[in-house]
Chains A and B, each alone.
Chain A
Amino acid sequence: GAVVSQHPSRVICKSGTSVKIECRSLDFQATTMFWYRQFPKKSLMLMATSNEGSKATYEQGVEKDKFLINHASLTLSTLTVTSAHPEDSSFYICSARDRTYNSPLHFGNGTRLTVT
């Protein structure tokens, strides 16, 4: 089945630093990847849609200069949280879908970010 690998699984950083999270589709090509954020006991919130070879599409209220997304290849998208603050601490999850119409989203294992 389709596998999405996400790294790191857990990261702790200091305020003001930047953190990069990688999302890879291991056995399929993903022209589109999605980045979600989830706070404790809350639902998934779509942050942005990452399109291979073009700019990401951000959801309303998500700062594109703070959450930098790069989708340089059909199997890799990265999310960089710049100048992180404690309120950015959350569970970040990427997902991808192969090119087949109606195919489901497959999720990475998520990254638990803690900003101190």
Chain B
Amino acid sequence: QKEVEQNSGPLSVPEGAIASLNCTYSDRGSQSFFWYRQYSGKSPELIMSIYSNGDKEDGRFTAQLNKASQYVSLLIRDSQPSDSATYLCAGKGGADGLTFGKGTHLIIQP
């Protein structure tokens, strides 16, 4: 069974620091990985996608993928209070929909 694991948190980070969110997955066939941000009471919104090993940067966000270790991470630099949300890691293998982790609740402390 395909699984995506995340620490549920809460992860508390001071404003301006780097927030590091981690995710592991069980399906070695997964080719694509996505990070979604979900505010309370809202639906998830896509913030990053990554398909190959290494780092991918977009503004304050950096996604990292290590297929050998089956590990995906998201770094948020210069954390802002508005970054406080639940971050969902998701993996895709084959033609199926995404397999989501349970999410990490991130709190940025002003």
> Which residues of A are in contact with B by a Cβ distance under 8 Å?
6, 32, 34, 43-44, 46, 49, 91, 93, 95, 97, 102, 104-110, 112
Give B49's nearest chain A residue, CB to CB: A104
* B43 pairs with A93, CB closer than 8 A: yes
Q: Could you say which residues of chain A place their CB within 8 Å of the CB of B44?
A: 44, 93, 107
Instruction: Contacts A34-B97, A43-B102, A102-B32 given; indicate if A109 touches B43 (C-beta within 8 A).
Output: yes
Residues of A within 8 A of B34 (CB): 104-105
A43 contacts B103, C-beta separation under 8 Å: yes
Dominant secondary structure at the B interface? loop
Residues of B within 8 A of A32 (CB): 97
Give the A-B contact count at a CB cut-off of 8 A. Answer: 46
CA distance A102 to B41 in the complex (A): 27
- B90 surroundings in chain A (CB, below 8 A): 105
Q: A102-B31, A105-B34, A105-B98 are in contact. Are A110 and B42 (CB under 8 A)?
A: yes
Given contacts A102-B51, A104-B34, are A46 and B43 in contact (CB under 8 A)?
no
- The distance from the CB of A25 to the nearest CB of chain B, in whole angstroms, is 14
Q: CB of B17 within 8 A of chain A? A: no
A19 to chain B, nearest CB (A): 18
